[in-house]
Structure 1
Amino acid sequence: MSATEPGAGAGPRPAGPPDLGALVHPGSVAIVGASADPTRIGGRPIAYMLRGGFSGRILPVNPNRSEVQGLPCYASVDALPEAPDVAVVAVPGAAALAAVDDLGRRGTRAAIVFTAGYAEVDAAGAAAQDRLVAAARRHGMRLLGPNCLGLFDQATGFYPIFTASLEGGLPLPGRIGIASQSGAYGTHLFTVARDRHIGTAMLVTTGNQADLDLADVIAWMARDEGVEVIMAYAEGVRDGDAFARALAAARAARKPVIAMKVGRSAVGGAAAQSHTASIAGNDAVFDAVLAEHGALRARTTEELIDIAYAATRRIYPVGNTLGVITISGGAGVLIADAAEAAGLAMPEMPRAAQGRLRAILPYAAPRNPVDCTAQAFNDLSLVGRFTETMIAEGGYRSILAFFTQIGGAPSLAPGIRRELNAVMARHPDRLAVLCVLASPERVREYERDGYLVFEDPSRAVVAIDAMGRLGEGFAAGPLGAPPEVPPVPLPDRTPSEAQAKRLLAAAGIAAVPERACASPEAAVEAAQALGWPVVMKILSPDILHKTEIGGVVLGVADAAAARTAYAALLARAAAAAPGARIDGVLVARQLAGGVECILGIHQDPAFGPVAMFGLGGLFVEVMRDVVFRRCPFGEDVAEAMIRAIRGAPLLTGVRGRGPADIPALARMLARLSVLAAQAGPRLAGIDLNPVIALPAGEGAFAADAVVTVRDAG
């Protein structure tokens, strides 16, 4: 059992998103295991709250002391003068269980359990963790942890946390919330933010997540008025539906979620049985769920902080375009390269506007990037005039100004601020970003004026692009309903290809015309009826990847070739899989002029059935150019998936080749998603590979189908 999974013995989790008000904004807090030493685990929370000016009541509990850090101390939970709203449990082993039970009986609503030695250690620890959670649930009390570093709420000075990071300074006022499974990494994020002078409203670390988990914290921050931006650090997802609901709640509140997830692990076991499963690692599915809800994934700590910092301006440009003003042509090229890598559009300035800028400064480069040259040293009005023209006539939603050292020079910075401020006052809806090298005091001045400030222009471009992607997510309209698909009962065991295609046909998913044949003569008759040439394949529920054993023969053009292929297929199957059940040979019409695609279903342990789409053949085997989406979904989502792959031009039409029947593909993918959602967990996976997408208006047909079913019972 992992440290993030609750044991079955703890009982069911309470339904619905929890109210964490008592946990994060309490009026009183007990410290069970309080220490007079402000450097010990039981002493740090008290010292930090005294230093931070916590407005509530701090109630130390320690049977060996009457006073702790200047506060009255109580011998036991029962001796407390009131039932605390929340308690910190910083005592070992059995004493922690007793403390939770005592607190619950007193009416405490939440506990933060620092104590370690539970499910993160071994099976005995997991059983002890179950007992801890069961004790809390008997009293309707919620637990954070165990094995938890704690949390803080900057606005109220509430610091039930034992990190050493606060020795370097308390968090600055701000609107960023941090939700982290890891205590050490969560406090690392806070420290990096503080050292960059970025304010953080709150941090909640979830530890073993025996009760409250990361999804609960994100959902709470989505409702909390003190948080406008959410940074999340995840090691895994326990409840996929709850996590998705939390992301949806954040998007509904227009609060961006920027997540970092570690553990790029592939799904084990069944991965060897399915193309879809082998590609749909936990990591790829996590990305798909974030994208579904308009959340972003950061690749590095630096990127996570940069994007959250940019989001504090709360300007999320839809249809984002970047206009660049620079005093360096070289920097302009670097920024253009970074924008292209990010997929951020940098349209050229209108020709008439370019002419007007050249009239102001004949040797300027006015296309975009717009280079006002070092002449800005002599005439700071160029900064304002060029920037105004870019916004008013270029229409850019985001502006990046590269002023390097002159932006920090005492002789020039005041004039630059004056010129830029006059322009931005007329365009408050534009995202304004500066790349300057300046003292911390000068940077704070620019930030107070409303600018984002970066030293590295490439990092600035990544953050600007992220704001546009967030804007697109917030602006997304309602999705179409999934199609109506009749429930299709699953067989008791994994079916053969022919049986699988009959199952799919019942859900409205078309296959290439074909016949199952039990003799060479039947194969010849089928081929004549279907029309030469045909494809012949071994038919067995035990041979899923037929090409790997030579179990597929293409281009069978006449009766003699059909008889030969039939015999060869049986011989190859007998040699490669002597114990396999053989149901004969499948004879199918050989389609020409289409694009090979792959459609699949994978059962993710956290998020349930997930659909995959990509190009077939080498594209899926080598390039892994695929997209994922949780099931079910409608045809609009399916078409967006199809158009999202890198190889989409092969389907939309390229180099004189007409488009494929994308609507037919979208109908098939949407119906497959509904079939998977209705089938339940006994459906282990589906691979339709290849699906032949014929030219527009001619349909899409599954040429091969593998439906993997967990045996009944």
Structure 2
Amino acid sequence: MSLSQLIFPQSIAFIGGNECEIAIRRTMELGFTGRIHAIHPKREHLAGILTKPSVEHLREPVDAAFIAVKREPTIEVVRQLRSLGCGGAVIYAAGFAEAGDAALQDELLSAADGMRLMGPNCYGFVNSLARAALWPDEHGIKPVSRGVAIITQSGNIACNLTFTKRALPLAAVFTIGNQVDVDMADMVRELAADERISAIGLHIEGLRDVAAFAHACEVAKAYRKPIVVLKTGRSEQGAKVALSHTSSLAGADALYDALFERLGVARMTSITAFVEALKFLHFGPLGGGKLVSLSCSGGEAALAADMAVGRRISFPPFDAATKPRVAATLNEFVAIDNPLDYHTFIWNQEDKLTSTFTAVLSGGFDVGMLILDTPTQTHLNPAAWHKTARAFHTAAKFAQARAAVVATLPECMPLDMADELANGGIAPLFGLDDALMAFEAAAMIGENWARTDAIIPIAASNLNGGEVSTLTEVEAKQLLKGRGLSVPDGSECRIGDAADVAQRLGFPVTLKVSSARIAHKTEAGGVALNLQTREDVINAAASMQHLSDKVLVERMVRGAVAELIIGVKRDPQFGLALVIGAGGILTELLHDSVALLLPTSRTEILRAVKRLKVWKLVEGFRGKSGDQDAVLLAIEAVVAFAHSYAASLEELDVNPLMVLPDGAVAVDALIRMRPIR
């Protein structure tokens, strides 16, 4: 059944007491013109609407219902509404799966029998486009003709977002609680198709169906609707709260990042950055991350440059054509750099400001940023600052450039100025750090939309039963070698034969204890490197005999320019995922890694490894470089192995993969898997 009746209703039944009275008033305040029914067994009126004693007294089907009664009678009310042909209902009551009563929640869903349910344990929604508020509280949303929509699992966060004074064009907010029926994916698909929705914001505690969410994001991308996410559960404490709050499983955080990166969804880490990104994306994403900054202060220019470090945005210099045009509008004391400090020589002179701003914004940047902190105290005169904002607005129109006015301090953006800028197509952004994050988000989405490679679907695999066992290093390497991974020449043997094997292989060699019981051989004293002679091998073997009666002797791999780790992990929500990062002793020290969901592609792998700090060593550093193609082939060999053993693989580590000038060799491997069927 479609969601349109529920979220864009023409008739609404409010079933309950005080909460319903508030919701009716909120709906009437928005100017709802459809039919309103109030249902209460004892009260004669709710918010001036004559009540009916029960749902059974409704003489016509309704599009939507707001049910605010106790949890047990809620189920019978839902059943009655379903029999009348109701389009959907918001379930306000709590005490279902989030409180441990999954059986009662199942009974609720069964009673709906296909009728759409939002909740339980949710506040409902305010949809100014429908002039409807199935919402039992205050809110700050005003009717707009076009704006952003926010979907959240938290009623209180939804309230807070409607209270903001940041010129956010908020068209609608939806809280979906436990998602017994209507979930994030349903809402994204429905809202993406509405041309009045400019961007979609999601506050996510957990996803019920990752594949369905991914498909919904593809739909949004097809409709060119940017999505911004505020995902909680990044910390261990956050994950625990998310689980208890709406019975959501907060999956591995790095895998959520991998999912969002693949889908072109911008993840923000603070609620203020979430709001600013949505506000900026109301005007659409960016083609790239090339910024130009204008301010009348060298301090602000330096601050902007410093705060952009480490982000996927940049302040490139003016090109040869733009630089003289900008210089011609200023005097000889102004250095023409980006960020640009245009000084105060032209302050309070609107024509001159407009000329400078127009020259700058015509320079081919993806977005132009005017830093402008305006006095907001009542005894101060902000006229000169308003004049500067008008000049920037005029210049953006002349140059046909994407532009934003940024207050470094949020309280220094007057609301009247913000509204005027927004109405003119200029994003008013509150706070420099949040503004830079918004630009970065818009650039990431725009670059994702420009890709020609297809989005790789999320694959589900059946998991074999049985106990997980650890293979020996020899067994692991042989399996991976069969998929094309290069491993050192070597042989497993009894400890007493190690010197003879080393002699045949040729020195120098490595010696490792061979036992499936010892996963971390170095810590156990089971690894000896760079053994040059028979005597070295004999002595090393003797030191390991208490660990196992078998050892692995291999040719020593030398001349590596970098060491990587390639791993595969199984996540209960996402399935198999690939991890690539700095390897060897640097794995835990640097925490330099990227994650990709499986299956993946070479294009996606290449984009990911280029985000690694250690990849600079592979590309070339101080006259040395590694074999990039060999590294990619090694990663693809691991991916191919994971695909072949998707039903049994639990964990895989190649660490390190030695990156050579002319190859890449896996010198250690760990595989844990279930029985193969």
**TM-score normalised according to structure 2 size:** 0.89
Structure 1 segment 201-350 matched on structure 2, within 5 A: 201-265=171-235, 282-314=252-284, 316-350=285-319
**2:85 is matched by which residue type in structure 1?**
G
Cα displacement string for residues 100-123 of structure 1 (whole angstroms, at most 9, x for unaligned residues): 22222222232211111112223x
Distance 1:422 1:68, change over 3 A: closer
Shift of 1:358: 4.4
Give the alignment partner of residue 112 of structure 1, picking from 78, 84, 90.
Answer: 90
Shift of 1:404: 3.7
1:30 aligns with: 13
What SS does the aligned partner of 1:149 have? coil
Counterpart Cα distance in 2 of 1:78 and 1:380: 67
Give the alignment partner of residue 402 of structure 1, picking from 371, 381, 385.
Answer: 371
**2:122 is matched by which residue type in structure 1?**
C
Structure 2 unaligned regions, length at least 5: 238-249
Shift of 1:455: 5.1
1:391 aligns with: 361
Cα displacement string for residues 191-227 of structure 1 (whole angstroms, at most 9, x for unaligned residues): 22xx223221221111112222223222332223332
Give the alignment partner of residue 377 of structure 1, picking from 340, 344, 347.
Answer: 347
Distance 1:669 1:598, change over 3 A: same
Distance 1:495 1:242, change over 3 A: same
Counterpart Cα distance in 1 of 2:135 and 2:374: 41
1:363 aligns with: 333
Shift of 1:643: 1.4
1:666 aligns with 2:639: no
**2:510 is matched by which residue type in structure 1?**
V
1:127 aligns with: 103
Shift of 1:488: 14
2:65 aligns with: 87
Cα displacement string for residues 384-422 of structure 1 (whole angstroms, at most 9, x for unaligned residues): 222232233x32221112344499966546754664344
Structure 1 unaligned regions, length at least 5: 1-17, 268-279, 574-581
Structure 1 segment 116-155 matched on structure 2, within 5 A: 116-122=94-100, 125-136=101-112, 139-155=113-129
Cα displacement string for residues 628-687 of structure 1 (whole angstroms, at most 9, x for unaligned residues): 010011222222222111222111110111x21111211222332343244335321111
Shift of 1:327: 1.6
Counterpart Cα distance in 1 of 2:88 and 2:456: 40
Distance 1:583 1:510, change over 3 A: farther
What SS does the aligned partner of 1:462 have? helix
1:567 aligns with 2:539: no
Bigger CA drift: 171-180 or 19-28?
171-180
Counterpart Cα distance in 1 of 2:274 and 2:575: 28
Counterpart Cα distance in 2 of 1:264 and 1:26: 37
Give the alignment partner of residue 584 of structure 1, picking from 542, 550, 571.
Answer: 550
Whether the aligned pair in 1 keeps the contact of 2:158 and 2:175 (CA below 8 Å) is: yes
Distance 1:419 1:71, change over 3 A: closer
What SS does the aligned partner of 1:340 have? coil
Give the alignment partner of residue 607 of structure 1, picking from 574, 579, 586.
Answer: 574
Counterpart Cα distance in 2 of 1:501 and 1:329: 58
Whether the aligned pair in 2 keeps the contact of 1:489 and 1:679 (CA below 8 Å) is: no
Counterpart Cα distance in 1 of 2:77 and 2:512: 67
Cα displacement string for residues 242-300 of structure 1 (whole angstroms, at most 9, x for unaligned residues): 22222232223222211112222469xxxxxxxxxxxx971111111111111111111
Shift of 1:352: 6.3
Shift of 1:598: 0.2
Structure 1 segment 58-73 matched on structure 2, within 5 A: 58-73=36-51
Whether the aligned pair in 1 keeps the contact of 2:94 and 2:121 (CA below 8 Å) is: yes
**1:147 is matched by which residue type in structure 2?**
N
1:425 aligns with 2:425: no
Structure 1 segment 617-636 matched on structure 2, within 5 A: 617-636=584-603
Counterpart Cα distance in 2 of 1:352 and 1:317: 23
Counterpart Cα distance in 2 of 1:498 and 1:61: 72
Counterpart Cα distance in 2 of 1:616 and 1:201: 48
Distance 1:421 1:204, change over 3 A: closer
2:242 aligns with: none
Whether the aligned pair in 2 keeps the contact of 1:400 and 1:435 (CA below 8 Å) is: no
Give the alignment partner of residue 153 of structure 2, picking from 161, 181, 195.
Answer: 181
Shift of 1:141: 1.8
**TM-score normalised according to structure 1 size:** 0.85
1:273 aligns with: none
1:496 aligns with 2:481: no
2:243 aligns with: none
Shift of 1:229: 0.9
1:548 aligns with: 523
Distance 1:61 1:243, change over 3 A: same
Whether the aligned pair in 2 keeps the contact of 1:61 and 1:76 (CA below 8 Å) is: yes
Shift of 1:372: 2.6
Counterpart Cα distance in 1 of 2:582 and 2:141: 53
Distance 1:506 1:78, change over 3 A: farther
Distance 1:494 1:144, change over 3 A: same
Counterpart Cα distance in 1 of 2:645 and 2:102: 33
1:467 aligns with 2:442: yes
**1:527 is matched by which residue type in structure 2?**
A
Whether the aligned pair in 2 keeps the contact of 1:109 and 1:140 (CA below 8 Å) is: no
Counterpart Cα distance in 1 of 2:480 and 2:638: 8
Cα displacement string for residues 338-396 of structure 1 (whole angstroms, at most 9, x for unaligned residues): 2234342112224565455445412122222333321213643331222232233x322
Corresponding pairs, count: 653
1:454 aligns with 2:429: yes
Counterpart Cα distance in 2 of 1:151 and 1:378: 45
Structure 1 segment 180-199 matched on structure 2, within 5 A: 180-192=152-164, 195-199=165-169
**1:26 is matched by which residue type in structure 2?**
P
1:689 aligns with 2:635: no
